[in-house]
Structure 1
Amino acid sequence: MYKMSSFTQLSRLSNYLIGGYKTAVHGRTFITTQVCNYAKSAEQKLGIEKPKRPLTPFFKFMTQMRPALLAKNPGITSKEAIAWSSKHWQQLDAETKAQMAKEYEKDLEDYKKIKEIYESSLTEEQKEDIKRVKEEMAAAKEKRKLKAEYAELGRPKKPMSSYFLYIQTRKDIFQGKHIKEYQKKMREDWLRLPESERVKFEKQAQQLMEKYRKDIEAWELKMISIGRTDLVRTKPVRVKKTANSKTKQ
């Protein structure tokens, strides 16, 4: 946490930061600098310039304070910076907060107008592209979330195929080679590999797969026991034919 050597120093820094922010507020400037680095939006991925929603009063305040805070304490972490800014936000006078809220409402009105113009300017093709990329991003996010959950719950990892087991033994030749060149070389060497050598890798892959099947079944039974059936693979249910059904046929 950021610490001052005395109450006087803390007050001086607080007054300096808040005073500087008052100047920015009364000058009514749009601050677009974000406190954190966020992932690209669908529009950014497509090279479409989308209007940015104005920062809320607190985030605008934190953004304005951040340069001076980092200058005074370069090694401060993001968590400490947020805590420090939150503390000073609570100490900020009501008049400045009210002015900031008023400016935010005005900025929000301007943003809504600009957003309407932006949305009406999009072609049908651009709208479809944005929708598609958003769906892809949502699917990728869910996949990452599921992967992290699998790792946390200790889900067994699927073993490598015989080909990739072979590649593991040839890592030494990768040095100095381009990835595509390396992959081409590995593929050619694998196809030229004598049958007697290839069988060794195939047998190893088969043994690893058999172990994986047992491990994954045990893991899924554990997931069922703790109520996480959503993580269990869906298996087709085989309907047994009765004597009546055979007769009808």
Structure 2
Amino acid sequence: MAPFSLISAAVGLVGRSFSFSSFSGTPFRCTSIFSVNINPVKSLTSQTSGPPKRPLNGYMRYVMQQKPVVMRQNPELKSVDMIRKIAQQWRTMSPEQKKPFQDASIQAREQFKVDLQRYQALLTPAQLQQQAVEKKQRLAKRKAIRKKRELTSLGKPKRPRSAFNIFMSEHFEEARGATTQAKMKSLLEDWRNLFSHQKQVYTQLAVDDKIRYKNEMKSWEDHMVEIGREDLVREQTLSTRKTAAVKAARAKKTKSKTAKKTARTSKKSVQNTTKSSSAKPARKGSTSKKT
């Protein structure tokens, strides 16, 4: 009996020999001898590398369908302009025109739920826990990105640069090395070889930048408090402002108490003076009567 490897090689040779030209001259190639039914839906039982992908919504389905069409009609159009053009088409479509894409999205979403349940059923408790941790990390990363974009749009000042960062930004272009990492390494070596008086220039620039950051942050945080965005103000600043407010309130209260006490003392003094002045004539009158 022939070895299995020889049989496989023979079958492959026969399959390749079926590549020939038809009578009309059009090339024809038979890719397989046997008829095989292939399921277009990938089974999740074989997807051990990761979970199923989330389905596209109706709009993204329309974009994926129209992208090659618009590309053929406008080959010189940039990707950004092409997406903008497709988005404009989507906005002008009627609900009936959008319905097929939205219905396909709903069906894909239902299939995704089934596929996800099948996938999760194959995972161990440790893998499920790992997925939960990764999901938490992704959400935290997205939240940090959104917050950074918000702070940038609100004009938050840039953090102060260190002396080495200022040195590196000034000499990065002429630094040795072909890659960014190599240039940074060479700049670090140059920085370490500088004399103290040479570093002093960048140290002073860093001090000035720190003062700039402190002043700009104070103005920015005051503005954030004015517009009701105290959630963006640093905890240290809030604590300092709260302490200052408490001290001011105490000073105001003490001042008010002192003013009230002074007023009462003055009033009492005036009353005593009035009584004494009104009592003196009475005594004179009584003395004359006795006489």
Q: Same fold (TM over 0.5)?
A: yes
Q: Determine helix, strand or coil for the equivalent of 1:79.
A: helix
Q: Could you tell me which residue of structure 1 aligns to residue 199 of structure 2?
A: 198
Rg larger for: 2
Cα distance in 2 for residues equivalent to 1:106 and 1:136: 30
Aligned pairs for 1:121-160 (under 5 A) are 121-160=122-161
Q: Is this contact kept in 2: 1:65–1:85, CA < 8 A?
A: no
Change (3 A) 1:209 1:49: same
Query: RMSD of aligned C-alpha atoms?
Result: 3.4
Q: Could you tell me which residue of structure 1 aligns to residue 268 of structure 2?
A: none
Aligned pairs for 1:49-68 (under 5 A) are 49-55=50-56, 60=61, 63-68=64-69
Q: Unmatched 5+ residue regions in structure 2?
A: 1-39, 42-47, 248-291
Q: Could you tell me which residue of structure 1 aligns to residue 73 of structure 2?
A: 72
Aligned pairs for 1:168-207 (under 5 A) are 168-174=169-175, 176-207=177-208
Q: Which amino acid aligns with 2:82?
A: T
Change (3 A) 1:199 1:62: closer
Larger RCO, structures 1/2 (Cα 8 Å, 6+ apart): 1
CA apart distance, 1:162:
0.7
Q: Could you tell me which residue of structure 2 aligns to residue 38 of structure 1?
A: none
CA apart distance, 1:140:
2.2
Greater alpha carbon shift after TM alignment, 217-226 vs 70-79: 70-79
Cα distance in 1 for residues equivalent to 2:196 and 2:165: 16
Q: Determine helix, strand or coil for the equivalent of 2:178.
A: coil
Cα distance in 1 for residues equivalent to 2:213 and 2:232: 16
Q: Is this contact kept in 1: 2:176–2:183, CA < 8 A?
A: no
Greater alpha carbon shift after TM alignment, 215-224 vs 55-64: 55-64
Cα distance in 2 for residues equivalent to 1:122 and 1:78: 38
Cα distance in 1 for residues equivalent to 2:54 and 2:195: 63
Greater alpha carbon shift after TM alignment, 182-191 vs 81-90: 81-90
TM-score scaled to structure 2, two decimals?
0.55
Cα distance in 2 for residues equivalent to 1:154 and 1:107: 42
Q: Determine helix, strand or coil for the equivalent of 1:160.
A: coil
Q: Unmatched 5+ residue regions in structure 1?
A: 1-28, 31-46, 241-249
TM-score scaled to structure 1, two decimals?
0.62
Q: Is this contact kept in 2: 1:161–1:205, CA < 8 A?
A: yes
